[in-house]
């Protein structure tokens, strides 16, 4: 695939659903760091933000980081997504957690938290690959490559759960444990 064609995806279903959800909530009801990071990842996915890499060139793997010293994947892999539904599900989950935590911590602290969690989750991914390869003798673990924001979202879910002293919420009148 030619580099100038790779990101001309257009508005696929997942992107349209994401736009609809942001408009339904109201962009003015979404704190700035959360909103900018959602818009940025969506624009990166559809190709409006032109970057000099392919999404799978920046996927993170133990081999790329530890053997080839490719540290850019440590950070860039977090903002790339495999397809439109991957982007949609990640951003919808992130939207809920981002709104809660950014209002609680403030925008500057939340931005620092995102940077920290992005680095930490990448570190854990590489560490788990190394442990699986060395101690579990899984020869493919170091080559397994990942992209996406899921690790950061799971970390934000943990913080959201810890920050909610009640331990449950009500959705459509039903009590749901969080």
Kindly state the percentage of the chain with pLDDT values over 90. 82
Vertex 12 angle, CA 15 and 87, to 5°: 40
Give me the pLDDT at residue 6, please.
52
SS3 35: helix
- Give the confidence band of 5 by pLDDT, cuts at 50, 70, 90: very low
Kindly report the pTM of this predicted structure. Answer: 0.87
Q: Which helix (H) or strand (E) holds 169?
A: strand 168-171
**What structural domains and CATH numbers belong to the chain?**
13-177 (1.20.1540)
């Amino acid at each position: 695939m030619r580099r100038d064609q790779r990101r001309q995806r257009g508005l696929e279903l997942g992107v349209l659903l994401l736009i609809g959800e942001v408009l339904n909530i109201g962009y003015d009801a979404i704190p700035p760091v959360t909103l900018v990071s959602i818009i940025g990842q969506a624009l990166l996915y559809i190709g409006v933000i032109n970057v000099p890499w392919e999404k799978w060139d920046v996927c993170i793997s133990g081999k790329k980081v530890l053997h080839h010293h490719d540290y850019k994947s440590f950070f860039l892999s977090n903002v790339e997504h495999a397809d439109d539904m991957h982007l949609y599900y990640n951003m919808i989950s992130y939207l809920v957690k981002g709104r809660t935590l950014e209002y609680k911590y403030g925008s500057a602290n939340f931005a620092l938290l995102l940077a920290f969690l992005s680095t930490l989750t990448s570190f854990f991914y590489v560490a788990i690959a190394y442990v699986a390869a060395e101690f579990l003798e899984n020869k493919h673990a170091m080559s397994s490559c990942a992209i996406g924001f899921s690790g950061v979202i799971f970390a934000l879910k943990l913080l959201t759960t810890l920050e909610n002293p009640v331990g449950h919420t009500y959705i459509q009148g039903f009590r749901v444990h969080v």
